[in-house]
Amino acid sequence: MNTESNQYAIGIDIGGTGTKYGFVNHRGEITYSGSDIRTNEYNKVEDFVNDLYDKLKPTIDVVGIEKIKGIGVGAPNGNIYTGTIDYAPNLPWREIVPLARLVSEKFGLPCFLTNDANAAAMGEMMYGAARGMKNFIVITLGTGVGSGVVANGHMIYGEDGFAGELGHTIIRHNGREHWSTGLKGSLEAYASATGITLTAKELLETSDEPSLLRDYKPEAINSKIVYECAMKGDNIAKEVYRFTGEVLGEALANFIMFSSPKAIILFGGVIKAGDLIMKPTREHMEKNLLPIFQNKVELIFSELKEADAAILGASALVWEM
């Protein structure tokens, strides 16, 4: 019998560099997975979908296509309403790409698409730190700052599918100009890996304090180096994280007063710095909240393995829809 309990969903995570996939059962276990597709090598999305099919076909045959309920895809600027990827700046296909339709036609399976941060939030809700929660926000702090907001147990997609772009909200009036959007003072300009690198360079320029970071050429400094120097106790590198936490904490306070979540789940490379960033984040979050919101909202790290989370989240779309 073909009940949900022996069915699979395919989860696909399309990133700017690589695309990962996995076959996920209803308990959230990834039974087969792979990551051998280089997204940026495909100028034509049709070629990408064809190669994706060729990679997955042998496993589909082993599992049996009748046991596969569908395909869920997370991608930057993925739109759940239209199934299209719209003007994703980090993917080789510009304009509007009807990815869900292309995948569905090629595989002969239903395909659901959403943006990568919403997929991560869905994964957290079904298999991660947000299990059983009806109100939470997931913030991914990676190359950029992504987010997914769940209220009343449902993802907030908004009128056009683009809700939850919290990384682009303005947290510093007339602040740092974003390298790509041109917005001034948006959260992403500070709390992303790129933002951390920029903060480090600014601090090095505006002080004479000795720092391990001065052993590197300015153009060589990146968030990984800042992290390593901070772990070695370097004061400027630690100040980078303190400042980043201050900005992030203020932004989280605003988000809490919007949707009053039970928890905010943080995710992505930036949180590797642990308490160095979390302590100031929590301090400035609480400080900027009305008393009725204080000491209520859990600030937690994702429980999911980073590589798995996106695949699980994308596959969760299939069970949800």
Residues that bind a copy of itself (CB under 8 A): 77, 86-87, 134-135, 149, 151-152, 154, 156-166, 168-173, 175, 181, 183, 250, 253-255, 257-262, 288, 290-293, 296
Cα dihedral 301, 307, 312, 314 sign: positive
Q: Distance between CA 63 and CA 242 in Å, rounded?
A: 49
Nearer to a copy of itself, 71 or 137 (CB): 137
Residue 136 vs 241, nearer CB to a copy of itself: 136
Distance between CA 69 and CA 76 in Å, rounded?
A: 23
3-state secondary structure 44-68: CHHHHHHHHHHHHHHHHHHHCHHHE
Nearer to a copy of itself, 123 or 261 (CB): 261
17-47 burial, b at 16+ Cβ within 10 Å, e below that, comes to eebbbbbbbbebebebeeeebebeebeebee
Choose between 18 and 98: whose C-beta lies nearer to a copy of itself.
98
Do 120 and 310 touch, CB atoms closer than 8 A? yes
Cβ 124 to a copy of itself shortest distance, Å: 15
Shortest CA distance to 17 belongs to which of 143, 166, 115? 143
> How near is the Cβ of 166 to a copy of itself at its closest, in Å?
6
Least CB distance from residue 253 to a copy of itself, whole Å?
7
Q: How far is the CB of 83 from a copy of itself (least distance, A)?
A: 16
Shorter beta-carbon distance to a copy of itself: residue 234 or 286: 286
Q: Rounded to the nearest whole angstrom, what is the least distance from the CB of residue 154 to a copy of itself in the complex?
A: 5
**Angle at CA of residue 149, ends 146 and 152, nearest 5°:** 170
